[in-house]
Structure 1
Amino acid sequence: MPRSGHAADSATTRRRQPRPVVRTVTAVAVVSAVVVGGSYAAGLGPFARGATEPEPAALAQARAFLADWAAGRLPKAADRTTRPTTAQEVLRNFTTGLDIHRPTLTAATTPTQAEDDTVSVPFTATMPIADLGTWTYRSKLPLRKQGDGGWKVDWSLSVVHPRLSGTRKFHLAREDADAAPNVTDRRGVSLSGDRFPSLRPVLDQLDTGTGGGGQRGAIQLVDRVTGRVERTEATLGKKPDRPAREPVRTTLDATWQAAAEKALASGAHGRNASLVALRIDNGEILAMANSPSSGFNRAVSGTYAPGSTWKIVTSSALLLKDAVAPTDIVDCPKYLTVGKEFHNVETSEHRNATFLKDFTESCNTAFISLRGKLGDRELGDVAGKYFGVGQRWHLGIPSYDGSVPAPRDQTEKAASMIGQGRIQANPLLMASVTATAVSGTFHQPSLTHGNRDTTTTTPLPHKVVTPLRTMLRSTVTDGTARVLSGLPGGIGAKTGTAEVSEEEPNNGWLAAHRGNVALACVVEQGVTGGGSAGPVIRDLLTAVPTDPS
């Protein structure tokens, strides 16, 4: 059942050094698609019959083998050879680790016939290596006539490449130019994936302007046992052809970023989690951290139900219509049925509670009881018009900017009042929602400078901002965000607990503000917001007691 954010519970690579680093990997990938040079049926034959002229059927079989191999139809290609089982295994393993995609294999039009009645068909292999260019080489297909009169490729390792053998194979050695030296924080401090692991996926997405034509690498022939490099088959990529531009200066603050990474590493307890901190006055992102630190940047691209942190938006919609005031009595029973039964965390209840109390204790049933005060599309309209939710944001990296679909029925409308149903958000969006709520003005979040802003929003009126600030502060002093109550700075916050499924623990959320900073954190399977995301935010604010300059 959907639940509110309630306190209790305790919470839970790949960039290298800036200098180029050679990474050696063994030759993956089943070869996929193909372009094969022509076919007999297309008019390149027939060959004249003669004592030393090859038969057209041999050339047709060679082309069919190349087509199947390159298209990834490895069993079919292997069946065209004299040793199908071995051939299929070799074809599958040959490109392992070479990052080859969509090769071109082209048969020559001038095969030769040897004295032993085998036919040799030369071919050219053009192997695109991801991010590096193409490796092109020539080899030959020997074909032998079978007892049934048909032709098959006379299998050996040299069919694939003339230097491939039982003792030698191919490796790809990449030389990566790390983007880290070209990216700095707001004050010019260099940001690297080694120092700030959570920034690795972010640095990958930034245009660093290194101007050097990207990565370089080499295809190497190595000893299968010792790994010793016997020769370099091809050098790929290119050297920088122009000087690097000025470093990319981000809005990040190295102090906040370091504190965020540390707080999340110690507080996530091995669970997936993420957080964002941004400036309230202009939307500049100060820190974004993920656990685990590598891979998906869930802080800005995640899609989560925001749970009861969404009650900031729901309250705004109700206050805009004068549908409720903080002092109004809105009963908070244990259960409320709207198509299905909704309840509060631990089936708590607060009889004759004020709306302020409902907010600070994150009462689901009270908020759901007010659903008739809003039109079916009104919650989404308010989210977009005042908070920029669902509009296209331009941060400087890709982001997911929220979704508030119109409810399909009353049950879904009830769920949307408490941040469930089909509403989706992430820590970036909820930090921005909090910043807008306490300032009254939406600012498009940004990670780099000079980004386009195509959003259109309307400021929240004082009659909404003033009670929201009071309600958020009361949640810290007297409600579910008491985990932050011992910290200075007049902190306001909203907890959230978002149901994932009947089988999994709920996600824990907390959105907060202090001074000119707004923050949001989600801990997957954190059970409650106050118990899981709360300690992470507390540790971050403790480590950085002052606002950024």
Structure 2
Amino acid sequence: MRSGVKVGVVGGVFAVVASGVAYGGYNLWNGITGGSADVGTRAAERRTGPVTAEEVTATARDFLAAWAAGEADRAGQLTNDPVTAGPAVAAYREGAGVSAAEITPGAPTGAVVPFTVKATVTYEGVSKPWTYASKLTVVRGESTGRPLVRWTPAVLHPKLTAGATLRTGEAKTPPVKAVDHEGVALPPGKYPSLVPVLDALRQRYGAKAGGEAGVETWIETADGTPGSTLLVLSAGKPGELRTTIDADVQAAAEKAVKEFPSAAVAAVEPSTGAIRAVANNPASGFNTAFQGKQAPGSTMKIVTAAMMMRYGIAGPGTAVACPPTVRWEEQTFQNLDRFTTSGDLTNAFARSCNTAFIKAIPPLKDKGVHDTALGDTAREWFGIGEVWSVGVVTEDGSVPESAGSETAASYIGQGRITMNALNMASVSATVKNGGFLQPYLVPKDVDGREFARAEPLPGAVAEGLRGMMRAAATAPSGTAREAMAGVPSPKGAKTGSAEVGGQADANSWFTGYSGDLAAAAVVQSGGHGGDAAGPVVAAVLKAG
């Protein structure tokens, strides 16, 4: 341990280890893990089965004490991946500039031990306290039988991922003060879902916003790209970055997603493509609304209906069959609760009849396009499958060529189709506007990037889709009617539920528009589209 550096493990049965006190006094390596025993003894005493409470406590104590003391090699040997863990613990101390650390463990829950780190970060004479929580898990070594800490970078900090490191120094980009499209400030504390978005915007546009860099601690990814800022030692001068977000719509989106454990929503202005809101719950971490890749369920019937009109299969007033079940390529598909109805395509759309849309396959097969028509329509009319230049990283939807029963599944938004809330908000925006305008957070003239393009919807197709979405939102039997009841007209919507393998309940999807705002939401395991995702979208649309 380096002299003059205070380190320690405190709380519970743990003792304080301070500068000048030998770490070995708290080491249970010999007594618990058998670290000093000969090979024969270790083999004879090799344990099996789940780790015991005593082993969990002792192993966590040893590891945390070694980490706090800066004993990187020893800490690494107490994990199941010492080759990776040892250098990572060393990099924590050196790269982050940690000059002091105390670690307080909480009560174990089984093999999981939570703990709190209270550190001091120092850079060029400037110091700042840094406190955060993390956890570790104790497992039994597969070959040795020893109790060991299961290594993951998140042990050192919950935001660390494989290949990433902690760095302290002058920030690579100046801070930014993000404002909405009318100049209203967007403080992260008030709009937590914007934190990862604003971090990404800062890295891309911070240098263009006119600020001055400060001294910070941040996560640096494996390729050297700076990520989330974890601590500010000395603030720089922020530059102002104007986004397309609308503060009122964003506030409504933040509130709406908090009603569910896992939900995401995005809102787009149809007439411009400007993104007015993005919200996720949980708010930190992965931006599901922009980067999710999930089957969108029956919200995809908007594109399927457009495909049917494009190829002359059926229009809004065309009579279509909606039997309880339909069979394609040795697989049977059914409607919810095996319902049946009669009438035209608009009625089938409003009631979300699966079988009516799957029955479009035979005539499209006669044209030789049944496996490709949906993807072609999605790309050429809705911009799905093109590369979007939003201003931050996004997943831009995928409707791949299909085959066999997968084709039938794709027509109702299952199979290998993947979308996210931003993609489906854009689909509704395209219908409302009569043509695709790529969603964006920062105007393209800021950096001269090119936007994705698509062909305008033919007038009759646009009008037909608006009529079908209006029926879903307003007709007595429309599946979106209840959720959209208080949303101002003109309005339209589509519900969806996507069955995902292993989940007891389907994911709830909903997309719609009102006036010059379109939105879409997905609620994990939320069930029917109108039950969970519907109220989220409605709340956002009302705020617009």
Q: SS of the residue aligned with 1:207?
A: helix
Query: After alignment, is 517-526 or 197-206 more displaced?
Result: 197-206
CA drift at 1:486: 3.8
1:416 and 2:364 aligned: no
Q: Which amino acid aligns with 2:437?
A: H
Q: SS of the residue aligned with 1:527?
A: coil
Change (3 A) 1:541 1:216: closer
Q: SS of the residue aligned with 1:492?
A: strand
* Map of 1:466 onto structure 2: 463
CA drift at 1:523: 1.1
1:346 and 2:309 aligned: no
CA drift at 1:201: 2.3
* Map of 1:128 onto structure 2: 91
Partners in 1 of 2:293 and 2:99 — Cα distance? Answer: 43
Partners in 2 of 1:192 and 1:179 — Cα distance? Answer: 16
Q: SS of the residue aligned with 1:493?
A: strand
CA drift at 1:398: 1.3
Change (3 A) 1:401 1:215: same
Alignment of 1:145-294 (within 5 A): 171-173=119-121, 182-207=177-202, 209=206, 211-216=212-217, 244=237, 246-265=239-258, 268=259, 270-294=260-284
CA drift at 1:180: 8.3
CA drift at 1:510: 0.9
CA drift at 1:94: 4.8
Change (3 A) 1:460 1:541: closer
Cα pair 1:179 1:204 within 8 Å, conserved: no
Q: Which amino acid aligns with 1:346?
A: D
Q: SS of the residue aligned with 2:244?
A: coil
Change (3 A) 1:276 1:525: same
5+ residue gaps in structure 2? Answer: 1-5, 10-32, 43-54, 77-86, 101-116, 122-127, 131-170, 219-230
Change (3 A) 1:516 1:128: same
Q: Which amino acid aligns with 2:190?
A: R
* Map of 1:497 onto structure 2: 497
Cα pair 1:332 1:350 within 8 Å, conserved: yes
* Map of 2:537 onto structure 1: 537
Query: After alignment, is 354-363 or 502-511 more displaced?
Result: 502-511
* Map of 2:154 onto structure 1: none
CA drift at 1:319: 1.1
Cα pair 2:175 2:212 within 8 Å, conserved: no
Partners in 2 of 1:213 and 1:501 — Cα distance? Answer: 47
* Map of 2:17 onto structure 1: none
Change (3 A) 1:78 1:411: farther
Partners in 2 of 1:383 and 1:98 — Cα distance? Answer: 57
Q: Which amino acid aligns with 1:341?
A: T
Q: SS of the residue aligned with 1:93?
A: helix
Q: Which amino acid aligns with 1:432?
A: S
CA drift at 1:438: 2.3
Partners in 2 of 1:25 and 1:185 — Cα distance? Answer: 44
Partners in 1 of 2:253 and 2:319 — Cα distance? Answer: 39
Cα pair 1:180 1:190 within 8 Å, conserved: no
CA drift at 1:526: 1.2
Change (3 A) 1:126 1:340: closer
1:448 and 2:451 aligned: no
Alignment of 1:330-345 (within 5 A): 330-338=320-328, 339-345=330-336
Cα pair 2:253 2:265 within 8 Å, conserved: yes
* Map of 2:425 onto structure 1: 431
Partners in 2 of 1:510 and 1:380 — Cα distance? Answer: 21
1:320 and 2:319 aligned: no
Cα pair 1:320 1:463 within 8 Å, conserved: no
Change (3 A) 1:198 1:332: same
Partners in 1 of 2:285 and 2:67 — Cα distance? Answer: 22
Partners in 2 of 1:524 and 1:314 — Cα distance? Answer: 23
Change (3 A) 1:214 1:510: farther
Q: How many residues align?
A: 397
Change (3 A) 1:410 1:92: same
1:402 and 2:401 aligned: no
* Map of 1:232 onto structure 2: none
1:192-240 Cα offsets, whole Å, 9 max, x none, are 22111222222232216254255159xxxxxxxxxxxxxxxxxx99857
Cα pair 1:131 1:214 within 8 Å, conserved: no
1:369 and 2:359 aligned: yes
* Map of 1:512 onto structure 2: 512
1:305 and 2:310 aligned: no
Q: SS of the residue aligned with 1:398?
A: coil
Q: Which amino acid aligns with 1:171?
A: A
CA drift at 1:263: 2.1
Cα pair 1:393 1:399 within 8 Å, conserved: yes
1:332-387 Cα offsets, whole Å, 9 max, x none, are 01111222221111211113x21111111110011001023243112112211221
Fraction of identical pairs, as percent: 37
**TM-score, scaled to structure 2:** 0.65
Cα pair 2:99 2:120 within 8 Å, conserved: no
Query: After alignment, is 482-491 or 516-525 more displaced?
Result: 482-491
Cα pair 1:290 1:298 within 8 Å, conserved: yes
Greater RCO (Cα-Cα under 8 Å, separation 6 or more):
1
Change (3 A) 1:486 1:257: closer
Query: After alignment, is 494-503 or 321-330 more displaced?
Result: 494-503
Partners in 2 of 1:202 and 1:344 — Cα distance? Answer: 39
**TM-score, scaled to structure 1:** 0.64
5+ residue gaps in structure 1? Answer: 1-23, 28-74, 106-123, 138-168, 218-235
Cα pair 1:344 1:365 within 8 Å, conserved: yes
CA drift at 1:87: 12
Q: SS of the residue aligned with 2:268?
A: strand
CA drift at 1:181: 6.5
Change (3 A) 1:130 1:274: farther
Q: SS of the residue aligned with 2:91?
A: strand
Change (3 A) 1:361 1:127: same
CA drift at 1:388: 1.4
RMSD: 3.8
